Structure 1
């Protein structure tokens, strides 16, 4: 089969697959993890990565499991990534890191706020230095 014939066959398969998804009312789940789920395991100019594998669901399932997500794990020893469907998304709370900016010590308004409003008054009264910090 020539190049044009192969391209036409690939387009037909892709169109047929999209039609199938539409007829079955399937939608792609939100995906996290690896951006690509397949590799051809070649090197150099022949190396290809694609997102072929997906988690799919219909509208009723999506409404039943609104927090569900698809997670693509690293493909270790295989050409495809394993896909895990989690019904409860993990909402990892990231701790906000406080960073002191040295220029605040030079800013009059910042110093007044710390000295009068925060350090000397209110809830910080009676606390030791570690507790105030």
Structure 2
């Protein structure tokens, strides 16, 4: 995600994604070539921040935030199926980020340090 949506490195698609990559987001065309073209055409305003990362078996989920993809920042969950060390399949859910309000508890939807905090809790 950082290679594609921070560094805008379209060449990373060939290295990281399976040749028969399956995309479950209906707004993004199927296949590795389509993903590579999408990344190559991204605005420099698009920037992805990963947070918490969870892995189980052949699946990896990333909670993150993306800016520049929509009118405002969005918080997202990306779920990948990994096969032979490559990303073979992808699902995502995006939600517009809502600012923190003290009346509702003051906890943000996304904190870029959440992955670090989770790792610290697991080792303590």
Instruction: Tell me: higher relative CO, structure 1 or 2? Use CA pairs within 8 A at least 6 residues apart.
Output: 2
Whether TM-score is above 0.5 comes out as: no
TM value normalised by structure 2: 0.28
User: Which protein has the larger Cα radius of gyration, Structure 1 or Structure 2?
Assistant: 1
TM value normalised by structure 1: 0.27
The structure in which a higher percent of residues are strand is 2
